[in-house]
Amino acid sequence: MQKKHKIQILESEIMRLLDRGITLDDATVHYIDSTFACPGAKNFQEILADSGNCETETLLDLIFFPNIEMQEQLEPVLASHGFDDNDVESVIRALQKKNIQVRILFPDDRGEFFMQAPEAAIRQMIHRLCIAKTIDARIISALQATIHDKSEIYQIQVMLRNCRVPFFDAFVHALCQCIEIMRPTSDYFRPAFDFLLDFLETADPSKDIYAGLMHKKQMLAHMIVQAEKNEQILGKSSVEAMMLSGLRIPAIHVGEARKKIALIDHLCLSLYGKTEFTQY
């Protein structure tokens, strides 16, 4: 009975969020406008209803992709009740049976329309909410002991729920340290935490995290040096000539790379009390 009750709570909360409608985000509107020449709400509704349109699947994927705001509003329910894969499947089946009519809104003055949420779109959306993902209890404890604003805790839990980081002990230790040390003292805690999550997604759990961060810093520094050299060459030659000569042109935004290096230094000084000088 208790299991059925928590599934009903989750189902009701998702329905409440869907009842508010889906406002198309800027990226989705840009894709729609680029592909279909800025259609109005009625024209776009007709496009989605065209089963022969090869773009329909992509459009539905974009429209029903859950945004961060939706996830943050759902997080209190997920944090209060543990859900497993069977629970997720039960919620998906229950929602699919409802033949949900969802209001789709353009963010500008093009209007809105209603459409029935396709079963496949519902399934994809629910899976992307990462409902069954368990956040390591040690990280939850660190958040609750350090942060008193519930909304901020939920925001960070959504970040953890969305990340593809397996919660290996070394990773959990680094994340807990970041929360406990940097949240009370650093104005750059959130970008640093976000960067650390991204870094850990590709890090080897058997390798030292500090050494991995230093290696990442060296790679970024090398790319900056190469990009600046290429910029000087571009002043004297064309891109085509550079490519014909076999010169590699790294795809890097130098300003963003410098910010990442600064975050690495900030993280390492905060968590390990040291960093290494890299000339670039």
C-alpha radius of gyration, the chain, whole number: 23
Q: How far apart are CA 125 and CA 120, in angstroms?
A: 9
Decide which of 278 and 272 is more confident.
Answer: 272
Residue 260 scores a pLDDT above 90: yes
| pLDDT tens digits, 142-162 | 999 999 999 999 999 999 999
| pLDDT tens digits, 120-145 | 999 999 999 999 999 999 999 999 99
Q: Which pLDDT value is given to residue 250?
A: 64
pLDDT band at 1 (very low <50, low <70, confident <90, very high): low
How many residues does this entry show for the chain? 280
Q: Which pLDDT value is given to residue 166?
A: 86
Q: What totals of helices (H) and strands (E) does the chain contain, helices first?
A: 15, 3
Q: Which pLDDT value is given to residue 239?
A: 63
**Quick one: how far is CA 27 from the chain centroid?**
14
User: Which residue's entry shows tokens 């496949």?
Assistant: 120
Residue 113 scores a pLDDT above 90: yes
Contact 23, 107 (CB under 8 A): yes
Mean residue pLDDT across the chain = 92
Residue 233 scores a pLDDT above 80: no
Residue 46 scores a pLDDT above 70: yes
> Distances in Å between the alpha carbon of 33 and those of 50, 100, 103, 257?
17, 26, 19, 31
Residue 24 scores a pLDDT above 90: yes
Residue 176 scores a pLDDT above 80: yes
Q: Which pLDDT value is given to residue 27?
A: 95
Share of the chain above pLDDT 90, in %: 82
Residue 190 scores a pLDDT above 60: yes
Calculate mean pLDDT across residues 264-274: 97
Contact 52, 137 (CB under 8 A): no
| Beta strand pairing call for 112-116 and 22-23 | unpaired
| Beta strand pairing call for 22-23 and 101-105 | parallel
Q: Which pLDDT value is given to residue 246?
A: 66
Least confident of 13-27, 35-49, 147-161, 242-256: 242-256
| pLDDT tens digits, 7-18 | 999 999 999 999
Q: How far apart are CA 259 and CA 235, in angstroms?
A: 25
| Residue 22, φ and ψ in degrees, nearest 5 | -115, 115
| pLDDT tens digits, 71-90 | 999 999 999 998 999 999 99
pTM of the model: 0.87
